[in-house]
Amino acid sequence: MATRHHQEDAADFLPADPMPAINTNFDKDLEAGKATTEHVENASIAEKQGAERDIHYDGGDDAAKPRTGLRKLLRRNPSMEFMREVAEANATELDPYEVKRVERKIYWLIVPALFIDYIFYYVDKTTLSYAALFDFKKDLDLKGNDYNNLSSIFYIGWLVWAIPGNLLLAKFPLAKYLSINIFLWGVFLMVQASSKDNGDMVAFRFISGMFEAVADPCFVAITGMWFTRRQQPTVIGYWYAGNGVGIALGGLIGYGIGHIGGSLASWRYEFLIIGAVCSLWAIVMGILIPDAPHTAKWLNRREAVVTMSRKRHDHHTVEKRQLKWDQVIETVKDIKIYLYFLLGFFANVPNGATSNFGTLVIKGFGFSTLNVTLLQIPYGTFIALMILMAIFVNHKTHHLNIRTLLMAGVTCLTVIGFALMAFTKGTAPRLIGYYLTGSSNAVFVLALSLVSGNVGGTTKKVLASAAIFLGVAVGNIVGPYSFLTSEAPVYRTGIIVCMASRAAEILVILGLRFCFVIPNRNRDKKFNEGDEAYNPDVQVFVDLTDKQNLHFRYVA
Q: Give 342-360 pLDDT, tens digit per residue.
A: 999 999 999 988 888 998 8
- Residue 141, Cβ neighbours under 10 Å: how many? 10
Q: Would the pLDDT of 27 be above 50?
A: no
475 in any annotated domain: yes
108 and 20 both lie in a single domain: no
Q: Please provide the average confidence, as pLDDT, over all residues in the chain.
A: 81
102 and 84 both lie in a single domain: no
79 and 149 both lie in a single domain: no
Of residues 122 and 186, which shows the higher confidence score? 186
74 and 104 both lie in a single domain: no
327 in any annotated domain: yes
Q: Quote the pLDDT of residue 321.
A: 57
Torsion, Cα 186 187 188 194, to 10 degrees, reads 110
**CA nearest to 122, candidates 233, 226, 236, 216:** 216
Angle 369-396/440-454 helices, nearest 10 degrees?
40
86 and 115 both lie in a single domain: no
Q: Which amino acid is at 493?
A: T
For range 263-282, the mean pLDDT: 93
User: Of 9-13, 123-127, 310-314, 489-493, where does mean pLDDT reach its minimum?
Assistant: 9-13
For range 244-248, the mean pLDDT: 91
Confidence band of 8 (pLDDT split at 50, 70, 90): very low
State how far the Cα of 370 lies from the Cα of 134, in Å rounded to an integer: 10
Q: Would the pLDDT of 254 be above 50?
A: yes
Q: Residues with Cβ < 8 Å from 547, sequence gap 6 or more?
A: 330, 334, 456
Q: Residues with Cβ < 8 Å from 47, sequence gap 6 or more?
A: none
Q: Quote the pLDDT of residue 20.
A: 29
102 and 82 both lie in a single domain: no
Q: 29, 59, 90 — which closes off a domain?
A: 90
CA dihedral for 346, 350, 352, 355, sign (positive or negative): negative
Q: Quote the pLDDT of residue 152.
A: 94
166 and 253 both lie in a single domain: yes
422 in any annotated domain: yes
Q: Would the pLDDT of 339 be above 70?
A: yes
For range 280-289, the mean pLDDT: 92
Q: 73, 90, 107 — which closes off a domain?
A: 90
Which structural domain, as residue segments, surrounds residue 244? Answer: 96-541
Contact 28, 46 (CB under 8 A): no
DSSP-derived letter for residue 214 is T
Of residues 263 and 65, which shows the higher confidence score? 263
DSSP-derived letter for residue 24 is T
359 and 490 both lie in a single domain: yes
Confidence band of 516 (pLDDT split at 50, 70, 90): very high
Domain count for the chain, please give it: 2
Cα 353 from chain centre: 21
552 in any annotated domain: no
66 and 143 both lie in a single domain: no
49 and 31 both lie in a single domain: yes
Q: Quote the pLDDT of residue 242.
A: 92
553 in any annotated domain: no
Contact 373, 251 (CB under 8 A): yes
Q: 72, 90, 108 — which closes off a domain?
A: 90
4 in any annotated domain: no
**CA nearest to 451, candidates 285, 313, 334:** 334
Q: What is the CATH number of the domain that holds 190?
A: 1.20.1250.20
479 and 335 both lie in a single domain: yes
546 in any annotated domain: no
Cα 272 from chain centre: 26
Per-residue pLDDT of 104-133, as tens digits, reads 999 999 999 999 999 999 888 888 988 888
163 and 63 both lie in a single domain: no
549 in any annotated domain: no
Q: Quote the pLDDT of residue 418.
A: 97
State how far the Cα of 458 lies from the Cα of 318, in Å rounded to an integer: 9
For range 315-336, the mean pLDDT: 78
Q: Would the pLDDT of 39 be above 50?
A: no
